[in-house]
Amino acid sequence: STFTPPFLQRLPDTVSTILEKSRKGELVEGAAVTVHGWVRSVRKQKKIAFAQIMDGSSDQMIQLVFLDPSIALDLKTGVSVRATGKLEVTPTRQDPYEISITDPIEILGDYASPTDLYPLQKKFMTQEYLRREHPALRFRTRVNANVMRLRSVAITALSAYFLQNGFFQTQPPLITSSDCEGAGEVFTVANSSSSSSAGEHFFGQKAYLTVSTQLHLESLMMGLTRVWTLTPAFRAEESMTSRHLSEFWMLEAEVAFTKDLESVMSIVEGMIRSAVTRMKSEGVLDQILSLKRMLEKQKATAKEGEDDEEMVTADEVSERWNTLVATEQPWKRITYEQAISVLQDAVAQGKVEFQHKVEYGESLKSEHEKWLARHYAQGPVFVTNYPANMKPFYMLPGPDGTVECFDLLVPDMGELVGGSLREHDYERLRGAIAASGMDPEPLEWYLELRKWGSVPHGGFGMGFERLICYLGGVYNIREAIAFPRWIDHCAC
């Protein structure tokens, strides 16, 4: 038998453990059960009353039944309660387990002002409204709680892949002295007493919030061979799109002893496939789909103008999961040059019109990326070997003025992952830093890695919220993170 330390036994059962124990027969009809949770809804009739209780431990609720409705008099939506009663089992019903309450129940948290109305109404509330008006209460809604649970299970599933493949999880710093991407999107760190001098007083030099931990991860990789990390990344990007945040989480990995881009791409593909397969087998997709179907019903019955928020449908989410794992075939890989000609041909044949012109040497815009994934690849596609001048200084040069890099594009969203082989030669890296116009001084430590036993290597970074949007059918990236930050928005 397994040993459970006494302190672990002190927490009460959650709604999901009560339901699980009931399903397994560990709790039988008539067993005394204590539930803790928030009241989602109450229905009071003359001779009977019902309350739905939820605690976020899963998307499931449990129903309390009051044969004496006077016990339920003080119950209202949103209050937190503790209730003890007897388990009732009705095998023929969709939710076969409920709890019959005969003793008074304990209201643990009432409204601060008893005359106020609970702000989260039963009727449809847009995500935008919830985020703006009740940023701290939104995790009490099924949709937002589910996204937070998805983040949690996704991290477990991704971690499992790295564990199985000999990677160490590492913790690079978030305060740095350099701009990894060289794109000038760094936030400066300053202590409040020296805000006018950009933090130079505190650290004795300029300091920034990291835009990517890649450079430090390379240092760790040169001691540990295979490393990964999941950290916040910060970018002072002035974009207001549904794909950009100022603070987001990035999953990055770095591997030593590899000279080919294909092996880095195969790590990315293996990681996503294995994590998605695992989550699917755990019923994560089913949960998302059942919530989506509920929302679709709500949307269908909503009044004109009441719900015009864009939504990803259940069918679309299902298709996304399928394209990631359905076939044994590897995902498509094409070069940037091929991608340009595929796009140009499609335009010439009148198959598509783009806002931005498609031209070799120009970056792929979001509309191009989405089209390539949806129509050319009908699923994820790696686009490799972009021209060197479009990419950061650290990438290994490839043929014809390109670099050994890739972007992974997925339908509806575009870029999900970016990666490359890294320049591992000391002189060439120094030259690349100079050529990109960056100050080499803050990068001397990084250059030193190439001085002493450098090694061919590569790695990648995946936007974690983009993955959550994609898998969870979350339309706007602001709903894929608990407290989103973007330009002009940092209120709570």
Contact residues for ligand 4AD, defined by CB under 6 A? 180-181, 212, 214, 235, 237, 244-245, 248, 250, 252, 415-419, 459-463, 465-466
What dihedral angle (degrees, nearest 10) is formed by the CA atoms of 431, 436, 438, 443?
-50
Whose CA is closest to 147, among 277, 300, 317? Answer: 317
Q: Are strands 32-44 and 80-89 parallel, antiparallel or unpaired?
A: antiparallel
Q: Which C-beta is closer to ligand 4AD: that of 105 or that of 211? A: 211
Minimum CB distance to ligand 4AD, residue 262 (Å) = 16
The amino acid sitting at 162 is F
The radius of gyration of the chain's CA atoms, rounded to the nearest angstrom, is: 26
Q: Which C-beta is closer to ligand 4AD: that of 189 or that of 462? A: 462
Minimum CB distance to ligand 4AD, residue 270 (Å) = 17
Q: Which C-beta is closer to ligand 4AD: that of 138 or that of 235? A: 235
User: Which parts of 355-394 are beta strand (E)?
Assistant: 381-384
Q: Which C-beta is closer to ligand 4AD: that of 215 or that of 279? A: 215
Q: Which C-beta is closer to ligand 4AD: that of 40 or that of 320? A: 320
Q: Which C-beta is closer to ligand 4AD: that of 138 or that of 466? A: 466
Minimum CB distance to ligand 4AD, residue 383 (Å) = 12
Q: At what angle do helices 464-472 and 261-281 cross, to 10 degrees?
A: 40
Q: Are 222 and 445 in contact (CB under 8 A)?
A: no
Minimum CB distance to ligand 4AD, residue 235 (Å) = 5
Minimum CB distance to ligand 4AD, residue 463 (Å) = 3
Let me know if 351 is exposed, middle or buried by CB neighbors in 10 A (0-12, 13-18, 19+).
Answer: exposed
Q: Which C-beta is closer to ligand 4AD: that of 252 or that of 479? A: 252
The amino acid sitting at 354 is F
Quote the CA–CA distance of 250 and 229 in Å, as a whole number. Answer: 8
Minimum CB distance to ligand 4AD, residue 112 (Å) = 36
Minimum CB distance to ligand 4AD, residue 152 (Å) = 19
Q: Which C-beta is closer to ligand 4AD: that of 55 or that of 181? A: 181
CB count within 10 Å of CB 230 equals 19
Q: Which C-beta is closer to ligand 4AD: that of 275 or that of 346? A: 275
* 286 φ, ψ (degrees, to nearest 5): -55, -40
Please list, in sequence order, all residues whose beta carbon lies within 8 angstroms of the beta carbon of residue 47, skipping any fewer than 6 positions away. 67, 69
Quote the CA–CA distance of 372 and 342 in Å, as a whole number. Answer: 8
Minimum CB distance to ligand 4AD, residue 397 (Å) = 16
Q: Which C-beta is closer to ligand 4AD: that of 261 or that of 417? A: 417
Minimum CB distance to ligand 4AD, residue 372 (Å) = 15
Phi-psi region of 204 (alpha: psi -120 to 50; beta: other; left: phi over 0): left
Let me know if 457 is exposed, middle or buried by CB neighbors in 10 A (0-12, 13-18, 19+).
Answer: buried
Q: Are 180 and 212 in contact (CB under 8 A)?
A: yes
Minimum CB distance to ligand 4AD, residue 404 (Å) = 12
Whose CA is closest to 23, among 79, 103, 86, 91? Answer: 91
